[in-house]
A and B are shown apart, each in its own frame.
Chain A
């Protein structure tokens, strides 16, 4: 089966739904990874992208009650619920202006009590502080909510926000498109068709967007393949998706906490299959916040060419207690990429090169032993944990 798929991939033939499921069932995950790596290297060589970005969630108040979510609080007065004032939100960006991010990524809950102007003002304020910043804000689910809540069409919402400074849409909120799953895990927000329609309109308005998939909960492999093929279909029509981002489900503090989290092999396989199926999407991102830096690093050899960015203020995965560190410093990301034998490229939102870093030599023996004499013994570290 894999041999036939390999032939198709090498001949540039499009893979089918059955091929996708077969790739998920193939026992030799390395062989799947190698094929995905072939495609990745054909497209991007060793180039691996990251950016200097910043994430902000200005409100976690949300009318939706998704089973997988550890982040949203239903109502404003509930403990832990929090909505930032515009001034506080702007301050977050201002505080980063000594080393400004190139992109600001805002994702919020579906807050029923804010005026639409909150969002417009939010964007205008960010642009005032940092005119060249790229604003990648509000998922399709939020855009759809705005349209319903404020009585506008998707196009009207997007046009107003674009006038206020919106540059592109993030890919969140896709979850799993198939209704068998979507009904169970997030019944009270945009459907698959509504989500995709928002992206269609955004693409028509000239915006580029990303698209995600939340996997590793109650969905089957067939549901994942179906999800990817829906993305591929819209991409054939509009070409507006720049990147596909599989997101690993984290069971902690949410309605599916009894499920095991997907393991590394599943993470890597999902990256690989998406690289192979999505022949019309340029980039596959391994989002290190979701999978952890180790898996993200390995994923750079299983089809991923993007590892997200430095991120500062991420709170959604943090709420689900991922082991990932909250923010990875710029140098850490460069190191992560170099250790995978790839070329780190700092990009802007549209994958233009901001800075290309040199590829590492074969990693070995680069370390210097510090001079023993200069480190007196009395300065020994305190161990974090010494058994009783």
Chain B
């Protein structure tokens, strides 16, 4: 797994009119990164350049408009032939957005609570202008979005949310009929990105032979309402009840805090691993590790592929025009195009909280779990594993 298998371009999409080749299994984000495009969107208020960070669809910094429908995460949206992809919220192009002037004109930040609030006529003009200059892309063209789906109801003995290592282990050991749902197209979770997780990959193989387990991939558990779990499968809504629900949804990546922490070229460790191990895209050429040391094997694999891990430590600032160019670690200044952040993640606590489970702070917010995984709500279990 040190050298991702050789692939070849299968087709093209366009990004702001430019042809971008992609390969089997590419997302829009991985294909754009391979083609050298780091700036995928502009931020809502200051029009700062933004790009990939988490590569799991969670951080909202890589939203693009696809065939007229806004706000698709480039990092998890599969590339498809002939797609018209456009960057959002810019005047000009993603790389040269004239509205960046807002960021440059207000280096210390712009506080809308007391700017241009009086007199009323100025405020009305200001609000009108701001609404044109900020936001989240154009409204979809009528008919561009998918249709209205079908609603289904179902009851299972055991519903397991999350098809990573924890979810797979719970499914293997469960009694009764199990439904295992995973939002990604494949089971395995982070193990798909980690050559050292062979045992989890073996579970993925084995799962196909478990008669008591039904697996639904590409299925998002998006909410728990009064004990009923709402699932999205394509355009369809599934309302599930279960004797037992196990939430094994994994974690969100931690984000770094230093000036310039939002520049394109700054990636979470998992995001960088996804680019390399899943898509065969080198995250960058001159790389700095931030936070905990990067896994030695990942460093070796990146360097074998021609990248240089220049330095590892605690980044104190990142600078660059539209992407990382210079990085400060204390007094030291280094030239680099990429920062990979190895930071503690936060468990995905959304569903636990919606279900009414008690949460507590142990360095980050976690559900209160008994030794057998029981939460404080009957019938709901949790599995955090290595999160």
A binds B: no
